[in-house]
């Protein structure tokens, strides 16, 4: 009996003294210029997808697009981003939809370094309630002007609302 306890104690000590597991694989992110640890895949959430990057040498614009599908929830997502180092302009957008519920959402943003304006917009649709909503926000740090507007409507109830506001800082 003492022999078995001694062997179990030796195994426990060996486990604590063993080298720790290696960290996630490190990948280089060319957009940020940094190294990032890749997340470990989750076997309980299989997602299939792809990422494409394109560079236009004439305009200098680099565009990255990606999409993913989750077969268990049916959710599909697609996103893209673009950056032009010559003008400094940057844009991004994305959309998510679920064929089982019919719900969808999309959004985007754009920055113009010459005018300083940054604009973001979004829209959502829920076919079960009939509600659709959209909004738009724009800000210019040179003039200090911010504008926000949006609309919400429901064709089943016939109700709708819209708003717009602009202010200076």
What confidence tens digit (pLDDT) does each residue in 101-154 have? 888 999 999 998 888 899 999 999 988 888 999 999 999 998 899 999 999 999
- What pLDDT is stored for residue 84 in this prediction? 86
Virtual CA dihedral for 39, 67, 75, 36, nearest 10 degrees? 20
What is the pTM for the complete model shown?
Answer: 0.61
- Rounded CA-CA distance 66/52 in Å is 6
Q: Using an 8 Å Cβ cutoff, are 96 and 104 in contact? A: yes
Tally of structural domains, the chain: 1
Residue 36 lies in a domain: no
Residue 66 lies in a domain: yes
Which range marks the domain in which residue 99 is found?
A: 45-168
């Amino acid at each position: 009996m003492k022999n078995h306890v001694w062997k179990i104690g030796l195994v426990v000590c060996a486990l604590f003294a063993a080298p720790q597991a290696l960290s996630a694989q490190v990948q280089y992110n060319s957009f940020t210029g940094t190294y990032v640890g890749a997340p470990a895949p989750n076997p309980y959430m299989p997602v299939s997808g792809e990422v494409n990057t394109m560079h236009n040498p004439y305009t200098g614009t680099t565009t990255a697009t990606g999409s993913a599908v989750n077969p268990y929830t049916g959710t599909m997502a697609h996103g893209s981003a673009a950056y032009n180092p010559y003008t400094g302009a940057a844009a991004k957008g994305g959309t998510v939809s679920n064929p089982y519920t019919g719900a969808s959402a999309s959004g985007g943003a754009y920055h113009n370094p010459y005018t300083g304006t940054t604009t973001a917009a979004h829209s959502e649709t829920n076919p079960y309630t009939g509600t659709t909503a959209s909004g738009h926000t724009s800000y210019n740090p040179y003039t200090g002007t911010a504008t926000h507007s949006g609309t919400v409507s429901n064709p089943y109830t016939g109700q709708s609302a819209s708003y717009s506001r602009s202010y200076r800082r």
